[in-house]
Amino acid sequence: MKPTHIRLRRACAAAAAAGVLAVPAVSGSAYGATSPAPSPTPTTSSSTAPTTDAAFPQLTPAVAAQLDAAVREVMRATGVPGATVGLWAPGKGSYVKSFGVADKVTGEPMRGDLRVRIGSETKTFTVTALLQLVDQGKVGLDDPIATFVPDVPNGDRITLRELAGMRSGLFNYTLDPGMIKAFEGDPAQSFEPQQLLDYSFKHPVQFAPGAKFEYSNTNLVLLGLVVEKVTGRPLHDVIAQDVLEPAGLHDTLFPTDSRLPDPHAHGYTDQTASGKIEDATDWNPSWAWAAGAMISDLQDLRSWARVLATGTLLTPATQAERLKTTPMDIPGAGYGLGIFDVQGWIGHNGSLPGYETLTVYLPPAQATMVVVLNTDVDTKGQEPSTLFGEAVTQIVTPDHVYPGHKPLVPKKSG
């Protein structure tokens, strides 16, 4: 499992080059030429400037037609039931359109206002809550995890920074065969954080703290426990009050049960005991907790992309620490603290049974891209959100193609 999402059966690379893919069925939302409100000035420490990039195209009807065709190509090649794609850039207009269906049984069309599960984009919220505690002087990024959570392998050596940056060496619990069997046997069951850690800690550490990058959801479960211990509040309350409310995200939530509030898209997955595609809409996301349980929609993700990339909830110094990336196994990509920089696009993506999302921000153009899908079924080892992101950016930002042009290591069995 790599820096993009949270899956069970399969470990995967964050992205891979798509190649030319084929077409689609649609159900349109809308193309609009209105400009969004100006974005906050970025505090990013990467090689980006806060001025609008003249190379970003005007999102005219002609460009919209190109985007329509590209999205439909990927729809047909992947068999994704429903997709919504949004692009926004100051002075360049916007492109927001939905394709396909939100419910394969009723044929209800996909729409931009439907909530979905956002998988590992949850990590961006959990780490933001942690970094707010750093700003308050209540924790330090170089504090060892043993200060807050007992009995962690190498806990006296692994720092909060290494956990948030995916450099702890702790085994990823979602790759444990027992965890996979338990989940697939009853996707409605509820898991407690300690159960998730137990699945990880029965495995040896993978490498010395800080030695290399390796994506592990175990890291985020530990950071969620740190936030709870330091604040004395449940993680879902901390994120709701300290992150979502000041960010103005009213349709985003950290669920405490399996319900996906209306209106929502149905989600379809092949991460099942039989391997057949099933409706995973009401599966319990507690197994993902601080690493991947949250819910959102297109417009909230659009807003969050700017907040996250520009650090409006953090001090400039802490945001600069967040954006210090270390190399991933993706050309032109690095991972910071619960955030990635892939070909200049800053943000995160997510994959949970039934859903995938991609939420990224390009500082030179102050541009935002959000992709929302109601499936996580791969195509030839590639995640659908990656293929959509690449198809869109090949048109609008050929100098910043997400995730790049070189094929990556394909998914392998976990």
Report, in angstroms and rounded to the nearest whole number, the Rg of the chain calculated over CA atoms.
20
Contact assessment for residue 97 and residue 29, using Cβ atoms and an 8 Å cutoff: yes
Quote the Cα angle for 81-117-341, to 5°: 95
Contact assessment for residue 370 and residue 350, using Cβ atoms and an 8 Å cutoff: no
The alpha carbon of 340 is separated from its chain's Cα centroid by a whole number of angstroms, namely 10
Residue keyed to tokens 């409605």: 188
The answer to whether residue 14 scores a pLDDT higher than 80 is no
Contact assessment for residue 31 and residue 97, using Cβ atoms and an 8 Å cutoff: yes
Q: How confident is the model at residue 53 (pLDDT cuts 50, 70, 90)?
A: low
Contact assessment for residue 312 and residue 303, using Cβ atoms and an 8 Å cutoff: no
Contact assessment for residue 159 and residue 145, using Cβ atoms and an 8 Å cutoff: yes
Q: Are strands 295-296 and 355-362 parallel, antiparallel or unpaired?
A: unpaired
Residue keyed to tokens 């949270």: 6
The answer to whether residue 303 scores a pLDDT higher than 60 is yes
Position 329 scores a pLDDT of 80
Backbone angles phi, psi at 88, to 5 degrees: -145, 140
Could you give the 3-state DSSP secondary structure of residue 319?
Answer: helix
**Mean pLDDT of all residues in 108-121:** 98
Residue keyed to tokens 């190379």: 55
The predicted-structure confidence for 58-101, as pLDDT tens digits, reads as follows: 999 999 999 999 999 999 999 999 999 999 999 999 999 999 99
Q: How confident is the model at residue 33 (pLDDT cuts 50, 70, 90)?
A: very low
Provide DSSP, 363-383: GGGTEEEEEEESB---BTTB-
Selecting among 120, 296, 303, 385, the annotated active-site residue is 120
Position 31 scores a pLDDT of 30
The answer to whether residue 254 scores a pLDDT higher than 70 is yes
| CA distances (Å), origin 79, targets 21, 267, 313 | 11, 13, 38
Tokens linked to 361:
């921000």
Active site residue 120: yes
The predicted-structure confidence for 204-239, as pLDDT tens digits, reads as follows: 999 999 999 999 999 999 999 999 999 999 999 999
Neighbours of 255 (CB within 10 A): 16
Tokens linked to 203:
């495995």
| CA distances (Å), origin 264, targets 25, 101, 260, 282, 373 | 20, 12, 7, 11, 12
Tokens linked to 302:
């659009």
The answer to whether residue 341 scores a pLDDT higher than 80 is yes
The predicted-structure confidence for 399-412, as pLDDT tens digits, reads as follows: 999 996 444 333 33
**Mean pLDDT of all residues in 177-192:** 96
The predicted-structure confidence for 287-299, as pLDDT tens digits, reads as follows: 999 999 999 999 9
Q: Can you give the length of the chain in residues?
A: 414
Tokens linked to 91:
């002075």
Tokens linked to 150:
């007992």
Give the C-alpha separation, 369 to 397, whole Å: 11
Could you give the 3-state DSSP secondary structure of residue 361?
Answer: strand
Give the C-alpha separation, 376 to 258, whole Å: 18
**Mean pLDDT of all residues in 264-287:** 97
Identify the H or E element spanning 292. Answer: helix 289-292
Give the C-alpha separation, 100 to 109, whole Å: 6
Give the C-alpha separation, 318 to 346, whole Å: 16
Could you give the 3-state DSSP secondary structure of residue 348?
Answer: strand
Closest to 186 in 3D by CA, of 296, 63, 313, 272: 272
